[in-house]
Amino acid sequence: MKTRIQHRLKALCGLLFIGLLAMLTVYPSLRFLLLPVIGQSAHKGLSALHAVSLIALSNSVRLSLLASLLAILCGIPAAWMMERRRWRPSRILMISLWLLFVLPSYLMTAGWQIVFSRTMLAHSVLATAFYSQFGIIFLLALKGLPFAALAARTSWRAIGAELDDAARLLIRNSVFRRVTLLQLLLPAATAAFAVVFVESIQEFGIPATLGAQIHLPIVTYAIYERLATTPVDFTGAALLSWQLVGLALVAVAVQLYAAARFGGALVHGRRRAHLCPPPSRSEASLAFTGLSALILFGLAVPLGALLLAAFSPQPTAESLPVAWNSVLYSALYGILAASIALAIAAPVLLRQRRGNGRFGQLIGAFSLTNMALPGIVLGAAYLIAFNSGWFALYGTPFLLVLAYVAVQLPMLLRFLQAPIEHLHRNLSEAARLHALPLAARLLDIEGPLLAPALGWGWTMAFIQVFFELPISELLYPAGRAPLGVALMWLNQSLDYTGEARLALLAMLTVLLVAGAANGLLRVLARVPLAGEPA
């Protein structure tokens, strides 16, 4: 009887989770994307299909392809240096890649805009190159480099030393030998290329800052313009959103084909680890040059420009009132959204570890499908689905937090899946045999082991929500603008000093909140339950 009740409770929890997924993603997405073909918008949608310009689509595809190729060409050698050579600055390279991943794209763009706003550089050749398509490709490649390097690093680690030995014995030509080994990276390189391409075509911060300033049509910003200008063109925005979703699906299909065509098992019982030698002088000099360029162009120049602009005198002719309270609003939104997403993701993954494979397949399909929806598309879907009827939530902070949760939940499910699966079932089974209650098993056994992963997951979700832009632009409540909206107001008004000061305050706030949250989590992981010995 007790076992039957437990199975029914598990099934009920699964149904509740499915209903939550439908409310967060499936219902609003279908409500928005089907506008051109159903209801009263059908005729308007079919007629608007001819009015949608292909310029924005061609620009997005061309720029994203070039940026992805550049990121792959730089990411594979960087990953090789971290995995195949005993190079001391490898840790600095990894930290730089993580900082580049966390740094919002529109703040990086703002830093470079501040640099080229100086009188001595305003009309230079570098400024002309930056305020063009080359500048967008450069920024997109910088943002895609961490994805490419981390994906290639995993494959470099999986290629054992026995494959190198076999290649030396069977292939005399060193060029052919290296080409043969590089073929083993095709699945990882294709996967990294697909991820970088999808991230590039879904990027909103760079088109909203640099793209808007040079008047270059890009799909993501074209969707925002159709929703932010009067009259609002929901059907045209939905048609453009279909283009983004279609491009993402094509990239995923190419990646799956490459994995099936060129993939293979690289980790086996006879696999031998590499004894990484120190790099040669030429390798070390090239790696040091690349690392210096990455730190200089990706971090030092934009962050240094923001720092200098923050402490420069405010030009009264261009100054606007700075919305300092946006930092507080974004901090509250980020804390709530990250906590809710973590509270949903962790129990779901724990149930998946104890349940059957169908539930795990559902979670994987949900996370992959939701990653194909850009933030601007999900924001537009929420704008349509929750603006009337029973779900009239538009203009409330609750809807904004709900959209943040929908965006961060797939990332947390992917990020926490491996740490939770690594916990052996015997830990909880042994505790259950010793009659420990559920709270004790979660807080004293699984909690301390998962505390580092939970802390990192919460921090990543909080930072991404804190600096989030496209959803914030479409769904923010009146009088409670998030940080990204306030920064965009200042950027579009060319008030770089106010933007830099607000960005600097935001970075300090992120460090304080993330540090306090992780410290509190470590303390709670060590606190014994009531009635237990300390």
Q: Using one digit for the tens of pLDDT, what is the confidence trace for 122-131? A: 888 999 999 9
Beta strands in 102-239 (DSSP E): none
First to last CA, the chain: 37
Percent of the chain with pLDDT over 70: 70
pLDDT: which is higher, 12 or 244:
244
Structure confidence at residue 338 as a pLDDT band (50, 70, 90): very high
Give the 3-state DSSP-derived string for 10-68, with helices as H, strands as E and coil as C: HHHHHHHHHHHHHHHHHHHHHHHHCCCCCHHHHHHHHHHCCCCCCHHHHHHHHHHHHHH
pLDDT in tens, 137-149: 999 999 999 988 8
| Upstream peptide bond of 231 is cis (omega within 30 degrees of 0) | yes
Q: List the domain boundaries for the chain.
A: 13-51+315-534, 56-162+193-266
Looking at 104-108, 120-124, 276-280, which range is the least confident one? 276-280
Per the CB < 8 A criterion, the answer to whether 36 and 42 are in contact is yes
Please write the tens of the pLDDT for every residue from 375-393.
Answer: 888 888 888 888 876 777 8
- Continuous segment of H or E residues that includes residue 291: helix 281-294
Report the C-alpha gap between 408 and 190 in whole angstroms: 25
Q: Has residue 182 got a pLDDT over 70?
A: no
Instruction: Determine the topology of domain 56-162+193-266 in CATH.
Output: MetI-like fold (1.10.3720)
Q: What is the mean pLDDT of residues 274-288?
A: 81
Q: In this structure, how many other beta carbons lie within 10 angstroms of the beta carbon of residue 316?
A: 6
3-state helix, strand, coil in the chain (%, to 5): 75, 0, 25
Can 13-51+315-534 and 56-162+193-266 be said to share one CATH topology?
yes
Where is mean pLDDT largest: 191-205, 408-422, 519-533? Answer: 191-205
Q: Annotate 379-423 with DSSP letters as a single string.
A: HHHHHHHTSSGGG--TTSHHHHHHHHHHHHHHHHHHHHHHHHHTS
Percent of the chain with pLDDT over 90: 24
As a whole number of angstroms, the distance between CA 395 and CA 480 comes to 10
Alpha-carbon distance 465 to 369, whole Å?
A: 20
Phi, psi of 422 (to 5 degrees): -75, -15
Q: Which CATH architecture has domain 13-51+315-534?
A: Orthogonal Bundle (1.10)
Query: For position 413, what pLDDT does the model report?
Result: 78
**Nearest Cα to 408, choosing from 365, 452, 375, 361?**
375
